[in-house]
Amino acid sequence: MITAAADGSSLHNPGPAGWAWYIDDATWAAGGWPKGTNNMGELTAVLDLLRATRDAGEELTVLCDSQYAINCCTKWMAGWKRKGWRKADGKPVLNKEILQELDTELAGRQVHFQWVKGHAGHAMNEAADSRARAAATAYRDGTSVDHGPGFGHAPAAEAAAGGADDTQNVFCAPQRHSAGNVCGEDDQEAPCRAAAPTATQLEATSSRDVTSASAGDIPSIEPFQDGLFELDAPSALVSTLADLQSRLVDSNPACRQQAMVELLSDDFIGHAADGKVRSKARLIAMDRSIKSRTTTQIDILGITEPADGVALVRWRSRTGARAELHASLWRLSGQHGDGQWQIVFSQATAI
């Protein structure tokens, strides 16, 4: 049995927001957004915990101080799904994209939710809360986010490998991640993120066993840049694109290359930090020549939607001592919003 605490934090609700889950001092993770809500943080903490522990083969108990998160996962989600992700009054459910991903991750899992009172001295809850709040504060201040060691990783060894590869990729070096589907028979060390679901796939029915119980040195941002770090896109789009962007820097080479095939448009052009211009085919070929695994941490700085079906994602990466700023232009293929988001252009700048 794995027992973990999950928590979210938003400084102004909405405002700079963070999430975190905590098992012990060597097993935890955190993240966030420049703008989000407490509920987004609470749900995302549970979602990332489910992804991280998916292949552990153990039952999971999640300690939450949020009745909203517990009720979403144990009481309300099934009804919302039957109604097309709408509430009883016909209005769309808030945080739908996160809830849909939770529905997928909970399928077939033995997951138990237990309520604990927040800010009441519960050690694990306090540990998750402090890490979620630290992530939100980092987004407010424009400083680096401590993402934590994750589940079943050796961060020190990965960090040591971070500076070993000199190959410049328009998406920087690979990122540590622990979620998704295993890709390929030859690389079973780290599972891949699942591809983003289409509108049709999101309607698929899933079963789950979920219960609830009651119980008690990257440069900082200058002041004149404050307006840059805002999310104009809807929260569902933010969640989707942040997840897709992170797939492109996965530490598993097979997963990363699979993501490039799926998520780079055929007419993709990338401007790397070394000044070179690369096509989709060239980028994939270069990536296949990279043998070492490295760890990259990424922070989403802003997501805007200048037009329907078009989104600009601005993000920051750090691999060892190397830090870069990135801008990725995403385009939604297909019609009626049922297609796949793909990158048509990316720019990387060393900082």
* pLDDT score at 302: 86
pLDDT at 207 over 60: no
Backbone angles phi, psi at 215, to 5 degrees: -170, 140
- Runs of H (alpha helix) within 142-187: 155-161
* pLDDT score at 136: 93
- Cβ atoms of 288 and 167 within 8 Å: the answer is no
* pLDDT score at 9: 95
For this structure, is 7 an active site residue?
yes
Is 233-348 in the same CATH topology as 1-139?
no
For this structure, is 153 an active site residue?
no
Q: What is the pLDDT of residues 95-132, one digit of tens each?
A: 999 999 999 999 999 999 999 999 899 999 999 999 99
Report how far residue 240's alpha carbon sits from residue 196's, in angstroms, rounded to the nearest whole number.
7
- Cβ atoms of 309 and 335 within 8 Å: the answer is no
pLDDT at 30 over 80: yes
Q: Could you say which of 48, 97, 105, 129 is catalytic?
A: 129
The better pLDDT of the pair 81, 290 is held by 81
Backbone angles phi, psi at 3, to 5 degrees: -120, 125
Q: Could you say which of 18, 31, 32, 42 is catalytic?
A: 42
Q: What is the pLDDT of residues 236-246, one digit of tens each?
A: 788 888 889 98
Report how far residue 174's alpha carbon sits from residue 296's, in angstroms, rounded to the nearest whole number.
5
Q: Which of 16-20, 282-286, 312-316 has the lowest mean pLDDT?
A: 282-286
Q: Could you say which of 65, 101, 103, 105 is catalytic?
A: 65
Binding residues for Mg(2+): 7, 42, 65, 129
For this structure, is 305 an active site residue?
no
Whole-Å CA distances, 182 to 74, 179, 271: 27, 9, 30
For this structure, is 59 an active site residue?
no
Q: What is the CATH number of domain 1-139?
A: 3.30.420.10
Report how far residue 175's alpha carbon sits from residue 185's, in angstroms, rounded to the nearest whole number.
21
Is the CATH code 3.20.20.70 the one for domain 233-348? no
pLDDT at 23 over 80: yes
Report how far residue 214's alpha carbon sits from residue 209's, in angstroms, rounded to the nearest whole number.
17
pLDDT at 176 over 50: no
Mean pLDDT for the stretch of residues 171-196: 43
Domain ranges of the chain: 1-139, 233-348
For this structure, is 129 an active site residue?
yes
* pLDDT score at 112: 96
Whole-Å CA distances, 269 to 257, 281, 348: 16, 10, 12
For this structure, is 65 an active site residue?
yes
Binding residues: 7, 42, 65, 129
* pLDDT score at 293: 66
